[in-house]
Amino acid sequence: MATTNMVDVGDAQLACTDVGSGSPVVWLHGSGPGATGMSNFGGNLAAFQDYRNIVVDLPGWGSSPRPDTGEPLIFDAAERVCRAMTALGIERAHLVGNSYGGAVAMRIAMRHPERVDRVVLMAPGGVLPADAPPWPVGLERLFGYMAAQKPSREAMAEFVRLMVFDETLATESLIDERYESSLRAHPELPIPPNFGDLTPDLALISAPTLLVWGREDQTVPLTWAPKILEGIPNAELRVLPNCRHWVQYERAPEFNHIVREFLQGGAAAAAEG
């Protein structure tokens, strides 16, 4: 049974949903408008009931207030997630991060390797190739939505449709849910956002790392993957065709299978050791 609690992380609180039992997995959502931990990953959790799943609303999203901080968003969020893990009695965990949440997962793995087992990253942010073109259309829509004084439902619909290859998955109920959630926390991101650059420290990630990418991603494009793949010493990449940015939603059965297989590999290796 899922329980959601506000967890004290010092100068703020994080909303964390706790479901399942077993080895802990911390799920970290993306930065899109209206995002929450459960909106990103709620549909995946049934496949992970033999794990203790901690699904976080990152600072400024969902039910988690955004505290005042001068730190880059990724750096600040990573420290608060670590404090939440401590408050919940979790010494080590697998990390699963989507987009911005993937960047937060990478930062935790860089700064606190003793707290990380395995890392799954879906099209993570925080690493921008030097030769990157102007912002992809998905990020343009995201930043435009956040910058609007009162964004429209149609703007949310356009954003959601860009997240999936099969636009029938951009249902009216999903658009409504994300729109209403975004209005409660708007704007989740400061504009312009100071995310922070993880590029110089990629080699500090010692945990086995799985990158999962949608081939047609228009938000964090596949062409940005090689820099991360080459920078993390023990990383591998899986690419799913006919799929955009929301891999865990658009290709849920394949995503669940790939991630379970990867996490179970970690458990097997630990048992052998």
In this structure, the dihedral spanned by the alpha carbons of residues 102, 106, 107 and 109, taken in order and rounded to 10 degrees, is: 140
CB contact at 8 A, 102 and 34: no
Give the integer Cα–Cα distance in Å for 129 and 86.
Answer: 34
| 109-147 residues labelled b (16+ CB within 10 A) or e (exposed) | bbeeeebbbbbbbbbbbbbeeeeeeeebebbebbbbbbe
- In three-state secondary structure terms, 168 is helix
Task: Report how far Cα 116 is from the mean position of its chain's Cα atoms.
Answer: 16
CB contact at 8 A, 26 and 56: yes
CB contact at 8 A, 81 and 61: no
Give the integer Cα–Cα distance in Å for 42 and 20.
Answer: 12
Active-site choice (94, 112, 245, 257): 245
Compute the residue count for the chain: 273
Cα angle for residues 264, 107, 195 (degrees, 5° grid)? 130
| 245 annotated active-site | yes
Pairing of strands 23-28, 13-19: unpaired
Q: Which residues are catalytic?
A: 245
